[in-house]
Amino acid sequence: MQQIATRIAAIREQIAASARSAGRRPEEITLVAVSKTHSPDIVRAAVAAGADQLGENRVQEATPKIAALAGVSPRPRWHLIGHLQRNKARAAAELFDMIQSVDSLRLAETLDRHAAELGRRLPVLLQVNVSGEASKEGFALAGGITNQPAYAALLAELEQVTAMTSIEVRGLMTIAPLAESPAQARPTFRLLRELRDDLARRIPQARWDDLSMGMSDDFEAAIAEGATIVRVGRAIFGDRPSL
């Protein structure tokens, strides 16, 4: 457990160093500790060690965990970072402080309806499949922002999402392809930033502040490319038990 505190402190130092070498302020970057597969006791230790933002990738797993940590002070904020099935959208809209994995117009519509019923405005990020891998969820950025008419179709969908009143778009999220080195992930991160910058010009009525990108192996490269949220699991909690 002490190890978790040590690791969180080390990650925060690495985040700060990466920010400074990119000419950015360390406070611009939020660390989300990805607690998926780990027990409430371990997550509680992470919160005690200063992890104030937690990431889970499945509603089913997160539901009892969030309940188990309900009394913990200060209350951590919970981010959903995994694919959300529409039949779990209502539970997710109730449980999470932010949903980072809004990966389709239909899911956005479903979440918007549930958030409205719950009387809340739900912060979300739009997940983008930058690399075009068939196995990846997300709005498709096939061929980048210069590829017409694919980009025009994407823009039309994103405009619809940003017009919804009960979900509040805060930015974009992506998962880089599995790579042998962090350097290989950089083009993906750069493309997400370029997309964000272009969206901020074209759809200025929405907030495009956040770029959630970078995990244990490549968060430093992501920060160099402008990440405002990094999602770190193994580097804090150690390897996940194989399921």
Ligand X SMILES: *Cc1c(COP(=O)(O)O)cnc(C)c1O
Give the range of 90-98, 105-113, 178-186, 225-233 binding ligand X by CB under 6 A.
Answer: 225-233
Q: Is 47 exposed, middle or buried (0-12, 13-18, 19+ CB in 10 A)?
A: buried
Give the range of 44-52, 103-111, 154-162, 229-237 binding ligand X by CB under 6 A.
Answer: 229-237
Site for ligand X in 93-152 (CB under 6 A): none
The number of residues that bind ligand X (CB under 6 A) is: 13
Can residue 230 be called a binding residue for ligand X (CB under 6 A)? no
Planar angle of CA 169, 114, 90, nearest 5 degrees: 105
Rank residues 103 and 151 by Cβ distance to ligand X and give the closer one: 103
Among 84, 175, 176, 213, binds ligand X (CB under 6 A): 175
Give the range of 1-9, 15-23, 135-143, 226-234 binding ligand X by CB under 6 A.
Answer: 226-234
Can residue 59 be called a binding residue for ligand X (CB under 6 A)? no
Q: How far apart are CA 143 and CA 130, in angstroms?
A: 9
Can residue 51 be called a binding residue for ligand X (CB under 6 A)? no
Give the range of 43-51, 64-72, 102-110, 233-241 binding ligand X by CB under 6 A.
Answer: 233-241
Can residue 82 be called a binding residue for ligand X (CB under 6 A)? yes
Structure token digits, residue 166:
């009960």
Can residue 215 be called a binding residue for ligand X (CB under 6 A)? yes
Rank residues 151 and 237 by Cβ distance to ligand X and give the closer one: 237
Binding site for ligand X (CB under 6 A): 34, 36, 57, 81-82, 175, 215-216, 231-235
